Structure 1
């Protein structure tokens, strides 16, 4: 039997929302793998700090000087040299360039090696090969080879989140020259958005997700509401506000080493952030979380709780593809509980903090990641006046990246690093309990910087319940009998995307 995949986009009966109901098997003979994300109305969005939108960048002339002057290019191609994605410029126009890249990869492979990187005076070219896909970063930034490769890995994971690794491998095993753009059509904005946020968000460098500062009593109350609104096959419940994690609860049977990693949370948040469609109502869509299980889908229910502002987002992850209405009922219970306690106002009244609020002399900015809390927690203050513009933020992040690369060097790892730059002094400090990067005014001595960091650590210790998710609340939700995600649908249609998910629960 030829496995098939159908995708339906339909309005729920009484909610005015959109419900995605993909089946789990694929049309392998024709290569027709319609992407759910292609139907999700990805509107063109402006690049951070630029007046040129994604469509303009995609049509940018690759022979122009402006195209050459971009700080970082990212290319994705197949082993057959077929173009799949380019951050700037049209993939078709870049087909010969990508052909040269694949020729380099093949030439080195013929000698029994694998190309890793190429260095010139102005650019670093980094290669990453994952199965039948090849990723290339051409960077004029100060990022290290390891940092650029980590970004390419995030791009790979984002593609896997839409298609699953098993599906990608299956496609190219059957057809080496398959054009993967047919599956990713309409989802370029997701990859664009990921690359944009990686250029400006230090959370990716720290392998962490920033939490919304919130009094512990309020956060616990929100988590308690999520714990009470459960249904069979619900695995994770998230509350996200302004792209920061507010609360997360999980099914208690999820193995400790199988819980969601920061990278998976980044992919989930980026998917939501990339499309205005998620603000239109209740969305039901499959998503693969590669570091949890790269060969199967979760089914994500996404709805904003505060339209039309759309700043507080509820995300429910289920293993049941037919659980849309059950998830919608959970959302209704959560909304009722929030309304009775005026809980949305707690989030709206969140007090973001600035360096001046901390009272540490000469401190301009800092990054902090604890090791004892939920693995995705991190904290850093809002940017001060000195780092308000896009160029200034990039400058500061470049300094942090340089310090991060040096202190985590594989050949010479360090615990403490002091660096005096032209306009600031930086100190990096890594222990078994935390990881910290701090930026001071330029004339601070090492002794003084360490003394001021000690004061900062005392303040963080005092405020840690407000700054971080200190524990992971759990709930019990037994799977419905006979409704596991591995036996949905007709018995004569094999399921290739969900296999193995429940083995982790």
Structure 2
């Protein structure tokens, strides 16, 4: 049965009382709050040469911090054992088994172009070099797709020869989206409801995941020296990060919202955790960020004064933590490039979980490669203080507590919602409830949100408010001065009832904002 005709209603706006100060708003922010979706749109319109010149001309942020540290009178720190560092950076046995399985399985695969299961996949991702050298394929060994990637490279080169850049090709219900970044070509072949802009954003995330492993300068250097270089030699073992990132983006709205979700905590408890980190680390002058994550949600973030973290970089960090089971068993000393912070240099991260009885992950990011033991000692002191003040217990309680649903807050006609506060780049969503309890239904719901998001941010005709009645649900999307709101209702809800429910929702979020959002920007 076809969906009912959507109704775009600007007049609904007058019926909803927008709060004087939007829920979750703050004059302080720890994140870069530029709308990442619009930013990437502009970024992708530049040429390869413009992109490279931009990257090479920007003074390294990490170098700037290191110079400041040298000028300061800092205490001498213990040097980490190089052998120990190398040990922590190596793949563990489980990861080696996973890589071996992937390689072994790829040898058993036949021609993917003749495989119905492969052809039926809704979204493929391919990465190749400008010379046409295969680097990555999401669902098959890239070695078996040399011909396909050769065609992709030829399309890009043909359009470039005319001083233009190929962005997308549309064939029936399939979109072919191209992103050319530096020496790499990234391609998405999608039958999903995602727009070209949203697929472009996802490819940009994949590119930045590669940069987080290699850095922009190293990537450019290897291809400047050898155009036919096989990048898989440098990315070996990192394919799991790309695999996980793609699966992460398929189920997580944070990426297209360009925002971060916070772990709900009492403000007094969150402040106690933050102050503990600050008091313990304040004298470690080369520490740039301290980040505490739990269940892929932000507990707190403390930053060096003058420096901010982009949501995209925090998403890359979340992907690293969520995809690496080995981090749960031991402290790790991990080099990581944060592409939006400084694409040409590595931060050095002390990464560890707080305790066996509290599975929150603490990342201490520094520009000094020789302070592993200093940060390890700081982490132990932080855990001891958090345990004494019952903060570990509070984090566990929040992690294990069932997520509140719209029914729990007295809105039975509302099934689900995404609320983003623009000024802090943070968002909130309730727990999923029927009918969105299966993977297929969750994927369908996310697709509906993506469609609404695209229509609100359409380059040709952006909308402020959408009220859309479908067969299975009624959708509402609203862009206000300080927030974005996406709501899923029961299919038979009326417009007056929807307006009343949204007003109640905004009042509830405003009432709970100190628990749901981080409203300050703590610094060392």
CA–CA separation in structure 1 for the residues paired with 2:511 and 2:295:
24
Deviation of 1:445 after TM superposition, in Å, equals: 2.4
- Count of paired positions: 436
For the aligned residues, what is the CA RMSD? Answer: 2.3
1:280 and 2:336 are equivalent in the alignment: no
From the superposition, tell whether residues 57 and 221 of structure 1 become closer, same or farther in structure 2 (CA, over 3 Å).
farther
Match of 1:108 in 2: 159
1:43 aligns with 2:95: yes
CA distance in 2, matches of 1:17, 1:355: 52
Classify the secondary structure of the residue corresponding to 1:386: coil
2:241 to 190, 198, 221: 190
Q: 5+ residue gaps in structure 2?
A: 1-77
Equivalent of residue 444 in structure 1, options 493, 496, 519: 493
The 1:354/1:57 distance shift into structure 2, 3 A limit, reads farther
Checking the alignment, whether the CA contact within 8 Å between 2:256 and 2:450 is kept in structure 1 is yes
**Selected match of 1:205 from 256, 279, 282:** 256
* TM-superposed deviation, 1:337: 0.3
* Structure 2 residue 363 is the aligned partner of structure 1 residue 315: yes
For residue 164 of structure 1, report the CA deviation from its aligned partner.
0.5
Are 2:457 and 1:426 equivalent residues in the alignment? no
Measure the CA separation in 1 of the matches of 2:130 and 2:156: 9
**Aligned residue number for residue 20 of structure 1:** 85
Aligned to 2:376: 328
1:248 equivalent in alignment to 2:301: yes
After TM superposition, where is structure 1 displaced by more than 6 Å over at least 4 residues in a row? 15-18, 53-57
Q: Hey, which of these two has a bigger chunk of helix by percent?
A: 2
**Structure 1 runs not aligned, ≥5 long:** 1-12, 23-35, 47-52, 476-505
Deviations 1:299-348 (A, max 9, x none): 111001122x6621111000101110111011011011012112111011
Cα gap change, 1:74/1:450 in structure 2, threshold over 3 Å: closer, same or farther? same
In the alignment, which residue of structure 2 is the partner of 1:179? 230
Distance in 2 between the 1:19 and 1:382 partners? 42
In the TM superposition, what is the alpha-carbon distance from 1:56 to its structure 2 partner?
8.2
Moved more, 272-281 or 148-157: 272-281
Q: Which has the higher contact order (CA 8 A, sep 6+)?
A: 2
The 5 Å alignment of 1:230-241 reads: 230=281, 231-241=284-294
Q: CA deviation at 1:54?
A: 6.2
Counterpart CA distance in 1 for 2:248 and 2:509 is 26
Compared CA separation, residues 236 and 336, structure 1 to 2 (3 A) = same
Q: Deviations over 1:72-119 (max 9, x none)?
A: 000000000000111010011111110110011111111221111010
How many Å separate the matches in 2 of 1:199 and 1:54?
Answer: 21
1:264 and 1:137 mapped to 2: Cα distance?
22
1:414 deviates by: 1.2
TM-score (norm 2): 0.80
Q: Give the alignment of 1:458-477 within 5 angstroms.
A: 458-475=507-524
- Offset of residue 40 of structure 1: 5.4
Is residue 222 from structure 1 mapped to residue 273 from structure 2 by the alignment?
A: yes
The structural deviation recorded for 1:196 is 0.2
Residue matched to 2:338: 289
**1:349 Cα offset (Å):** 1.0
Describe the SS at the equivalent of 1:112.
Answer: coil
**How far apart, in 2, do the equivalents of 1:383 and 1:19 lie?**
43
Residue 81 to residue 239, structure 1, CA distance change in 2 (3 Å): same
Deviation for aligned residue 1:41: 5.5
Deviation by residue 1:452-499 (Cα, 9 ceiling, x = unmatched): 101100000000111111111111xxxxxxxxxxxxxxxxxxxxxxxx
1:158 CA displacement? 0.3
- Paired residues of 1:21 and 1:322 also in contact (CA < 8 A): no
SS in 1 for 2:179: strand
Structural mapping, 1:297-308, within 5 Å: 297-307=346-356
Distance 1:439 1:55, change over 3 A: farther
Query: How does 1:18-417 map onto structure 2 within 5 Å?
Result: 19-20=84-85, 39=91, 43=95, 60-61=109-110, 62=112, 63-230=114-281, 231-252=284-305, 254-255=306-307, 259-307=308-356, 311-350=359-398, 351=401, 352-373=403-424, 375=425, 377-417=426-466
For 1:337 and 1:447, the matched residues in 2 are separated by 51
Task: Give distance in 1, aligned partners of 2:322 and 2:293.
Answer: 11
